[in-house]
Amino acid sequence: MMQMRDWISGAVGAVVFLLGFLPLSGIMKLDFIGLAVIKWIAAIAGLYLMFNSIIEVTNSNVIGWFSFGIATVVFITGLFPVLHSMGIGPGFFELSWIGRTAYNLILAIGGILLMIATFAMEL
């Protein structure tokens, strides 16, 4: 039976997906959202996807391990620059070589996996 956490995961996934997909497709420019905010969103979405992936794995779902791997990448690419902006960590943590387009792609993929987790957590 679908629980509220499943539907919240789907809604959060849809919002994160749209934040990444709309600028990539050229439908809507979201330049008013700063790159620093996008990095925070990536870190939080990655952490949330990690929690959902753990639930998927404990339910013996194969997609959970794949989701956990992607969630780790999304989380790290969001967390390291946020930590660097707070003065924590070496200069490598800035990840300045990752541009806005890459972050949009990361958000879109993370959003898709969060939407999949809506149903995969109950399998």
Find, among 20, 47, 29, 3, the residue nearest to 111 by Cα: 20
What is the number of structural domains in the chain?
1
pLDDT tens for 62-98 read 889 999 999 999 999 999 999 999 999 999 999 999 9
* Rounded (5°) CA angle 94-111-34: 40
Q: What share of the chain is helix, strand, coil (3-state, %, to 5)?
A: 75, 0, 25
pLDDT tens for 13-58 read 999 999 999 999 988 888 888 999 999 999 999 999 999 999 999 9
Domain that holds residue 15: 4-120
